[in-house]
Amino acid sequence: MIHSFKIKNFRSFRDFKFEPLERVNLITGSNNVGKTALLEALYLNIAPATALSSNSGSNTDESSTRHNLFRGFKDIRYPLDNVTKWGWLFHGKELSRDVELASARNDGGSRLTMDWWIEDKNGDIPLTSDIPFDDLQTLLLKVQVERVNGRQETPQVWRITRSGHRPPDGYVFDSIPLRLLLNVYSRSPEEDTKWFSKLDDVGRQDEVVSILRLIEPRLKSLAVSTSDGPAMIYGDIGVGRRIPMSQMGEGMVRLLSLVLEITNASGGVVLVDEIENGLHHSVLTKVWRAVGEAARRSNTQIFATTHSWECIRAAHEAFLQNGTYDLRLHRLERINGDIEAVTYDQKTLDTSVEMHLEVR
Amino acid sequence: MSAPYTLDNPLTSIPLELDQPKLLIGEGVEEVLLFGALLTHLGIGDVRVEQCGGKDGLPAYLDALRLRPGFAELSSLGVTRDADADAMAAFNSVRQHLQNRGFVTPISSGNIEAGTPRVGIMILPDGASPGMLEDLCLTAFETDAFTPCINGFFECLETTLGNPPDQMSKARLHVWLAAQNPPDMRLGIAAQRASLTGPKDLSTSSEPFSGRCEVGFDAPQKPLLLDLFPFRIHILVRKCDAIIL
């Protein structure tokens, strides 16, 4: 589990510490304060092999990354012919300041850096701020990942230039599993079907069903069927025939997606954008109990954003009921020009909820 | 002034925001309503009043306060508390809770200490005597025409039951309130009702508190009050022709 995360010079973060972290981390704050950028930074640090690869299937064509998923782009090609596009990732678009994203886990950690170079036949030359690099043909962005997992591993380097995107030599992999649940594009039922089937194949259906029962106590079992066309998940609630999950309401579908992502990211991390979306306030406490239970069972860590007071209150109440209070609320706030995380533990969140004090 | 001085249902209202640069903390809802009415009457609009849920709730309240959105912009913080049996012990307790959380603190009740935020502590009723908020209010009512009736009531009680109520000042105040119209107002609500009309109106109106007294800050000039607030809150009870409770 990640217990500390540090960001330097990435998007709106100049020098940012995110700690202490818990099993479930709820992130709040006003608009445009960096919540999505924080999820992006976590994504890049935890799963660089996925984030820096292309959905198009080729890693050697134009530079392309998936981290733009958070901005509503499923895939975007970024040839390095325009520094501005990659400059978005640098704080204040000052390309001379290196980006650094560092996570610390109980069993290791990783550090990702991004910096600019000039390709030269005699070797790469660090870019200095006084070079008008926008028009340079030889500009190079290096993304380097160093991991510590009990032992120091050889750093992996992605080289991004005008001519293409070169991943590290050899097999590139993420150190821990990472799953995303975003709202910027519609989630397809096929995705849930695929992940459910993977769990069902190894006899883990009950883990999902028992959690969905918190919202729909009549649910007996789930099954994948193609009787109505494409493969979909159906539920048996004892009414004679199975019902497509999509017909059981948005809350059930949302909880199913959440539970599937948490369960499939066993040992890793799930990033959830606006977790309360699609959920009625009356079921939020149950959903949080379910999320907490699934996260503990799968040893998954969750980072979720929210704007909802009801969602925060429900999470606090659910984790109090759980007995194990492994929840932290973090509010991102701009203080003296820099973004900082203000973190609530059980006691301070309890007082705030009890006295109805604003925390967002 | 924003409207924090109401008995909102917390489940249906929006969470409480630090929407003013100054914050005055009372023990309970009575202080919120009464201080709010007083500030409204004085036309002071840059002070927010909140309760900490009783004297035992102050440490947890302060811990949460330091995390709240807008705390960094707070310029002044005032903490009031009942003296109960020992005004000095009450002051030291509040001071210690503040110091433990990094606040600068004044050396005595009624004083302000410069800092970020500035901090004032006021122990009720007067910073030195035992007692509580209700004692402060009672002194405003002591020359009422029916005060002998209230005295007689408690003398009768003592004769009949053999012992006075545990919190005599609260009991006396509630009897006084029961003599008003309507008879079932709590102190803070009575103060709010009275503050809805200004002193000029009240002096000639038939409002229940008309012609009674004024609870005000010791500095009569508004500019001076604004300058000092918070919190040289020597809340004084001054006799006058109109109630501005």
For residue A98, what is the DSSP state?
A: P
Considering chain A, what is the average pLDDT of its residues? 85
In this complex, the residue of A343, A355, A356 whose CB is nearest that of residue B61 is A355
Q: What is the pLDDT of residues B154-166, one digit of tens each?
A: 999 999 988 888 8
Q: What one-letter code names the amino acid at B25?
A: I
Q: Do B13 and A342 touch (CB under 8 A)?
A: no
Residue pointed to by tokens 């440490």 = B59
Tell me which chain B residues have a C-beta less than 8 angstroms from the C-beta of A352.
64, 67-68
Q: What contacts A87, CB < 8 A, 6 or more positions away?
A: A93, A95
Pair A40, A52: CB distance under 8 Å = no
Residue pointed to by tokens 């119209």 = B181
What mean pLDDT is predicted for residues A310-334?
A: 95
Pair B175, B150: CB distance under 8 Å = yes
The pLDDT of residue A227: 83
Q: For residue A255, give the nearest of A225, A226, A219, A227 by alpha carbon.
A: A219
Q: Which residue of A has its CA nearest to B64?
A: A348
Q: What contacts B89, CB < 8 A, 6 or more positions away?
A: none
pLDDT at B200 over 50: no
What mean pLDDT is predicted for residues A40-60?
A: 74
Helices (H), strands (E): how many in chain A? Answer: 9, 19
ipTM of the complex: 0.80
Distances (CA, A) of A188 to A56, A243, A250, A347: 18, 18, 13, 39
Q: Which residues pair with B22 in a beta bridge?
A: B47, B76
Q: What one-letter code names the amino acid at A293?
A: E
Q: Which residues pair with B77 in a beta bridge?
A: B23, B119
The residue with greater pLDDT, A64 or A170, is A170
Q: Which two tokens stand for residue A285?
A: 């406490």
Q: For residue A273, give the nearest of A44, A28, A45 by alpha carbon.
A: A28
Q: Which residues pair with A160 in a beta bridge?
A: A141, A165
| Phi and psi torsions of A216, nearest 5° | -125, 90
**Using omega within 30 degrees of 0 as the cis cutoff, is the peptide bond preceding B230 cis?**
yes
Suggest the residue from B68, B71, B74 to mutate for an interface test with chain A (most A CBs closer than 10 A): B68
β pairing state of A269-272 and A178-181: parallel
Q: Which residue of B has its CA nearest to A309?
A: B15
Tell me which chain A residues have a C-beta less than 8 angstroms from the C-beta of B59.
none
Q: Distance between the two ends of chain B, CA-based, in angstroms?
A: 18
Pair B188, B177: CB distance under 8 Å = no
Pair B209, B190: CB distance under 8 Å = yes
Give percent helix, percent strand, percent coil of chain B, each to the nearest 5.
40, 15, 45
Other CB atoms within 10 Å distance of the CB of residue A190: 11
Q: What is the pLDDT of residues B148-192, one digit of tens each?
A: 999 999 999 999 988 888 889 999 989 988 887 788 888 888 777
Alpha carbon of B154: minimum distance to chain A alpha carbons (Å): 37
Q: What is the pLDDT of residues A172-224, one digit of tens each?
A: 778 889 988 887 556 778 888 998 998 899 998 998 998 888 888 999 999 99
The residue with greater pLDDT, A166 or B244, is A166
The winner for highest mean pLDDT among A106-110, B136-140, B149-153, B162-166 is: B149-153
Q: Do B69 and A358 touch (CB under 8 A)?
A: yes
Q: How confident is the model at residue A138 (pLDDT cuts 50, 70, 90)?
A: confident
Q: How confident is the model at residue A248 (pLDDT cuts 50, 70, 90)?
A: confident
Q: What contacts A269, CB < 8 A, 6 or more positions away?
A: A2, A42, A46, A176, A177, A178, A179, A300, A301, A302, A303
Tell me which chain A residues have a C-beta less than 8 angstroms from the C-beta of B61.
351, 355
Q: Is B176 left (phi over 0), alpha (psi -120 to 50) or beta?
A: alpha
Q: Do A355 and B18 touch (CB under 8 A)?
A: no
Alpha helices in chain A (DSSP H): 35-46, 48-51, 83-87, 189-201, 205-212, 250-264, 284-298, 309-322, 346-354
Q: Which two tokens stand for residue B172?
A: 């006396």
Pair A1, A300: CB distance under 8 Å = no
pTM as predicted: 0.83
Alpha helices in B80-167 (DSSP H): 87-100, 133-141, 147-161
Q: Distance between the two ends of chain A, CA-based, in angstroms?
A: 25
Q: Residues A360, B2, B5, B10: is their CA dihedral positive or negative? A: negative
| Cα–Cα distance measured from residue A350 to residue B103, given in angstroms and rounded to the nearest whole number | 22
Q: What is the pLDDT of residues A111-128, one digit of tens each?
A: 999 998 888 888 888 887
Ranking A57-71, A94-108, A156-170, B198-212 by mean pLDDT, the lowest is: B198-212
Tell me which chain A residues have a C-beta less than 8 angstroms from the C-beta of B17.
358
Suggest the residue from A310, A312, A316, A356 to mutate for an interface test with chain B (most B CBs closer than 10 A): A356
Q: What are the residues of chain B with a beta carbon less than 8 Å away from any beta carbon of chain A? A: 10, 13-18, 53, 60-61, 63-65, 67-69, 72
